[in-house]
Amino acid sequence: MEEELERGPLGRARAAFLDHLSAERALAVNTLSAYRRDLGRYVEYLDALGVTEPGEVTTGQVGSFLTALREGDEDHAPLGAASAGRTLAAVRGLHRFAVREGWATIDPAAEVVPPASPMRLPKAIPLDAIERLLAAAGPEEAPASDARADLLALRDRALLELLYGTGARISEAVGLDVDDVTEAVRESPQVGLVRFRGKGGRERLVPLGSHARRALDGYLIRARPTLAASGRGGPALFVNARGGRLTRQGGWALLSAVAERAGVEGISPHTLRHSFATHLLDGGADIRVVQELLGHSSVTTTQVYTLVTVERLREVYATSHPRARR
């Protein structure tokens, strides 16, 4: 499939652009995979129109591609505004790259406006639901026995404590190595830190709370040595039942199982990240601090959480103040 896409000039431009993103922009693996998929669909769409040169593409064709994304076809489901906008961002990047490399003289995507996404407030769950979830995951320190199921429960508790205690993305959490925690803790033994590698290869240090640190210590001392005995996980902090590095899908699966036991519905790893940010702001944290903890490159991204806290204020006022109730 990839070989077919790279046959024409436009396909080769796509391949060169993806190489550029991988080598010079240091995009995350998942982001690069999304660009590859989205631009593959774009090249196929233009090829069906008989367009094979970067310099032949018109603004109208880019706009019609965006319409096709939103409408879908027999091979593709219709895309929402956010997904279509992400694909258009990849297309824009490709055409800017083509102009810079001299393969085209104009950028036909520059004036195509992405669809407006509806305002969606991040979903946070209350603290009592968080505590039920963590309790259902497993013990914070010593497991009931050395049975594999109990050791995995110790790992599950450590992972969920880390996700909620640091606001990490699931990809960042499962990408951690043991030294990312132990070395950072040695650097700051009183507080404890975790070194995350976020989007674009950016590193950040995030404080590690006492509960998360205790859960991680229990997992590292009691569970990981046995689970990682096969050596397949290498330096990975979180390993699966076979000793290999825990994957994003594995993290989702274990959270879903724990949430079902706890009776907490509609939760994902990102829900814990949203809850981390919302609870910090509810507690009086400065938005710039929350921005740094989340690893957002712009405070604008973080500001959506302030809307959540305002909604919470309205809810509390409406249900608590005697002159607010009818």
Q: Tell me the two tokens of residue 302.
A: 């973080």
Contact 243, 152 (CB under 8 A): no
Q: Does 318 or 59 have the greater pLDDT score?
A: 59
Instruction: Report helix angle 304-320 to 269-282, nearest 10.
Output: 70
Q: What is the mean pLDDT of residues 22-47?
A: 86
Which are the catalytic amino acids?
169, 199, 270, 273, 296, 305
pLDDT value for 97: 94
Distances (CA, A) of 77 to 2, 31, 68, 180: 22, 20, 10, 40
Which of 13-22, 99-108, 226-235 is predicted with the least confidence, judged by mean pLDDT?
A: 226-235
Confidence check: pLDDT of 254 > 90 = yes
pLDDT value for 200: 65
pLDDT value for 49: 93
Phi, psi of 196 (to 5 degrees): -105, 150
pLDDT band, residue 142 (cuts 50/70/90)? low
pLDDT value for 321: 66
pLDDT value for 323: 65
Contact 301, 147 (CB under 8 A): no
Q: What is the mean pLDDT of residues 270-290?
A: 89
pLDDT band, residue 46 (cuts 50/70/90)? very high
Mean pLDDT over the full length of the chain:
86
Q: What is the mean pLDDT of residues 295-319?
A: 74
Q: Tell me the two tokens of residue 266.
A: 């509609």
pLDDT value for 23: 81
Distance of alpha carbon 251 from the chain centroid:
12
Q: For the segment 5-17, what is each residue's pLDDT rounded down to a tens digit?
A: 566 889 899 999 9
What pTM value is reported for the model? 0.64
Confidence check: pLDDT of 318 > 90 = no
| Domains of the chain with bracketed CATH | 2-100 (1.10.150), 127-316 (1.10.443.10)
Contact 187, 243 (CB under 8 A): no
Confidence check: pLDDT of 56 > 90 = yes
Q: Does 194 or 156 have the greater pLDDT score?
A: 156
Please list, in sequence order, all residues whose beta carbon lies within 8 angstroms of the beta carbon of residue 192, skipping any fewer than 6 positions away: 184, 185, 207, 208, 209, 213
Element housing 206 (H / E): strand 203-207
Confidence check: pLDDT of 2 > 60 = no
